[in-house]
Structure 1
Amino acid sequence: MHKTPAIVILGAASLPTARRIQRRYPQAPVYALQGRVEADIAYADFGATLRALYQSGTPIVALCAAGIVIRSLAPVLADKEQEPPVLAVAEDASAVVPLLGGLAGVNHIAREIAAIFGIEAAITTSGELRFGTCLLNPPDGYALADVEEGKRFVADLLGGEGVRVEGAAPWLAAARLPLREDAGRRIRVSCARGASADELLIHPRALVVAVEAGEAELAAKVRAALAAHGLAEAALAGLLAPMDAMSDAALGSAARELGVPLRFAERAAGETPADWLRRLLPLEERLAGDGLCIGRAAQPVEMARLGRARGRLSVVGLGPGAAELMVPAVRRALDEAEDILGYETYVNMAGPLRAEQVRHCSDNREELQRARHAFELAASGRRAVVVSSGDPGVFAMAAAVLEALEQSIDPLWHAVELEILPGVSAALATAALSGAPLGHDFCLISLSDNLKPWTVIEQRLEHAGAADLVMAFYNPISRARPWQLGRALEIVRGHRDPQTRVVLGRDVGRPAQALRSLTLGELTAEMVDMRTLVIVGSSTTRSFPRADGGDWVYTPRWYPPAGLAPRGESCEKARGDEAAPHHPSGESAT
Structure 2
Amino acid sequence: MTHIAPAIIVLGNNSIPVARKIISVLPEAQLYGLADRTSDVDVSFTEFGATLRELFANGTPIIGFCATGILIRTLAPLLANKRQEPPVLAVAEDGSAVVPLLGGLNGVNNLARQIASVLSVIPAITTTGDIRFGIALEDPPVGYRLSNPEYAKGFMSDLLAGHTMRLEGNAAWLRNSSLPIVQDAQRVIEVTEKAVFSTLNHLVYHPATVAIGITPLNSSFRGEGSELITLVQQMLTDAELAPAAVAGVFASISDTAEPGLEAIANYLNVPIRFFTRDAITQVMSQHQTADVAVGAALAASAGELIGQRQTANFSCAIAIAPLPIDINTTGTPRGRLAIIGTGPGRSDWMSPEVKEILRNATDFVGYSTYLDLVSAFTKGKHLHESDNREEIARAKVALDLAAQGRFVAVISSGDPGIYAMAAAVFEVLDKQAKPEWQGIEIQVAPGISAMQAAAAKMGAPLGHDFCVISLSDILKPWSIIEQRISAAAEADFVIAFYNPVSKQRTWQLAEAQNILLRHRSPDTPVVVARNLGREAESTIVCTLENLVPEHADMRTVILVGSSKTRMIQKRDGGIWVYTPRRYDN
**For the superposition of Structure 1 and Structure 2, which TM-score range results when normalised by the shorter chain?**
0.7 to 0.9
1:201 to 198, 201, 204: 204
**Structure 2 residue ranges without an equivalent (≥5):** 217-222, 282-288
CA distance in 2, matches of 1:76, 1:91: 25
Does the CA-based 8 Å contact 2:86-2:102 persist in structure 1? yes
CA distance in 2, matches of 1:412, 1:173: 45
SS of the equivalent of 1:459 reads helix
How far off is 1:439 after superposition?
A: 1.5
CA distance 1:479–1:112, shift in 2 (3 Å): farther
Does the CA-based 8 Å contact 2:56-2:86 persist in structure 1? yes
Q: 1:116-154, CA deviations, whole angstroms, 9 ceiling, x for partnerless residues?
A: 655443222222222334332222212222222222222
Once the two structures are overlaid, the 10-residue window that deviates more, 355-364 or 182-191, is 182-191
Give me the identity figure in percent: 44
The residue number in structure 1 matching 2:245 is 235
The residue number in structure 1 matching 2:499 is 475
Q: 1:7-59, CA deviations, whole angstroms, 9 ceiling, x for partnerless residues?
A: 566x65787479757895767473859x999995656683x765565455444
Once the two structures are overlaid, the 10-residue window that deviates more, 201-210 or 280-289, is 280-289
Q: 1:476-502, CA deviations, whole angstroms, 9 ceiling, x for partnerless residues?
A: 222222333233222223322232222
**Structure 1 residue ranges without an equivalent (≥5):** 563-590
SS of the equivalent of 1:553 reads strand
- The amino acid across from 1:129 in the alignment is I
1:286 to 300, 303, 306: 306
CA distance 1:432–1:227, shift in 2 (3 Å): farther
Q: 1:389-426, CA deviations, whole angstroms, 9 ceiling, x for partnerless residues?
A: 11112111122212222232531123322332222211
CA distance in 2, matches of 1:343, 1:377: 16
CA distance in 1, matches of 2:428, 2:456: 34
CA distance 1:36–1:302, shift in 2 (3 Å): closer
SS of the equivalent of 1:352 reads helix
Cα root mean square deviation, aligned: 3.4
- The amino acid across from 2:436 in the alignment is L
SS of the equivalent of 2:383 reads strand
- The amino acid across from 1:522 in the alignment is N
How far off is 1:359 after superposition?
A: 0.8
1:538 and 2:539 aligned: no
CA distance in 2, matches of 1:371, 1:543: 42
CA distance in 2, matches of 1:152, 1:108: 22
The residue number in structure 1 matching 2:334 is 310
- The amino acid across from 2:348 in the alignment is E
The residue number in structure 2 matching 1:88 is 90
Pairs within 5 Å for 1:114-133: 114=116, 119-133=121-135
- The amino acid across from 1:235 in the alignment is A
Q: 1:351-398, CA deviations, whole angstroms, 9 ceiling, x for partnerless residues?
A: 433644211111111111111122222222222222111111211112
CA distance 1:524–1:106, shift in 2 (3 Å): same
1:3 and 2:4 aligned: yes
1:252 and 2:262 aligned: yes
Does the CA-based 8 Å contact 1:27-1:352 persist in structure 2? no
Once the two structures are overlaid, the 10-residue window that deviates more, 13-22 or 385-394, is 13-22
Once the two structures are overlaid, the 10-residue window that deviates more, 198-207 or 504-513, is 504-513
Pairs within 5 Å for 1:270-419: 271=291, 273-274=293-294, 277-278=297-298, 281-288=301-308, 291=311, 292-353=316-377, 355-419=379-443
- The amino acid across from 2:198 in the alignment is A
Once the two structures are overlaid, the 10-residue window that deviates more, 508-517 or 334-343, is 508-517
CA distance in 2, matches of 1:144, 1:56: 24
SS of the equivalent of 2:395 reads helix
How far off is 1:113 after superposition?
A: 4.5
CA distance in 1, matches of 2:571, 2:144: 60
The residue number in structure 2 matching 1:97 is 99
2:79 to 63, 77, 80: 77
CA distance in 1, matches of 2:508, 2:120: 60
CA distance in 2, matches of 1:365, 1:521: 32
CA distance in 2, matches of 1:128, 1:88: 19
- The total of aligned residue pairs comes to 558
Q: 1:149-184, CA deviations, whole angstroms, 9 ceiling, x for partnerless residues?
A: 222222233333344444332334653444444444
Q: 1:298-339, CA deviations, whole angstroms, 9 ceiling, x for partnerless residues?
A: 111234454443322222222222222222333333333222
Does the CA-based 8 Å contact 1:144-1:202 persist in structure 2? yes
Q: 1:452-506, CA deviations, whole angstroms, 9 ceiling, x for partnerless residues?
A: 2333333322222222211222222222223332332222233222322222222
CA distance 1:428–1:192, shift in 2 (3 Å): same
- The amino acid across from 1:102 in the alignment is G
Once the two structures are overlaid, the 10-residue window that deviates more, 228-237 or 14-23, is 14-23
The residue number in structure 2 matching 1:569 is none
Does the CA-based 8 Å contact 2:236-2:243 persist in structure 1? yes
How far off is 1:507 after superposition?
A: 1.9
CA distance 1:366–1:80, shift in 2 (3 Å): same
CA distance 1:66–1:302, shift in 2 (3 Å): closer
CA distance 1:451–1:463, shift in 2 (3 Å): same
- The amino acid across from 1:383 in the alignment is F
CA distance 1:286–1:405, shift in 2 (3 Å): same
Q: Normalized against structure 1, the TM-score is what?
A: 0.83
SS of the equivalent of 2:377 reads coil
- The amino acid across from 1:3 in the alignment is I
CA distance in 2, matches of 1:257, 1:146: 19
CA distance in 1, matches of 2:488, 2:322: 69
How far off is 1:112 after superposition?
A: 4.5
Once the two structures are overlaid, the 10-residue window that deviates more, 345-354 or 363-372, is 345-354
CA distance in 1, matches of 2:416, 2:236: 44
CA distance in 1, matches of 2:53, 2:491: 48
Once the two structures are overlaid, the 10-residue window that deviates more, 270-279 or 359-368, is 270-279
The residue number in structure 2 matching 1:262 is 272
- The amino acid across from 1:249 in the alignment is P
SS of the equivalent of 2:370 reads helix
Once the two structures are overlaid, the 10-residue window that deviates more, 310-319 or 159-168, is 159-168
CA distance in 2, matches of 1:270, 1:284: 17
Does the CA-based 8 Å contact 1:215-1:251 persist in structure 2? no
CA distance in 2, matches of 1:229, 1:36: 60
SS of the equivalent of 2:554 reads coil
The residue number in structure 1 matching 2:219 is none
Does the CA-based 8 Å contact 1:219-1:255 persist in structure 2? no
CA distance 1:298–1:62, shift in 2 (3 Å): same
Once the two structures are overlaid, the 10-residue window that deviates more, 344-353 or 179-188, is 179-188
CA distance 1:420–1:410, shift in 2 (3 Å): same
CA distance in 2, matches of 1:298, 1:474: 60
- The amino acid across from 1:260 in the alignment is V
- The amino acid across from 1:237 in the alignment is A
SS of the equivalent of 1:309 reads coil
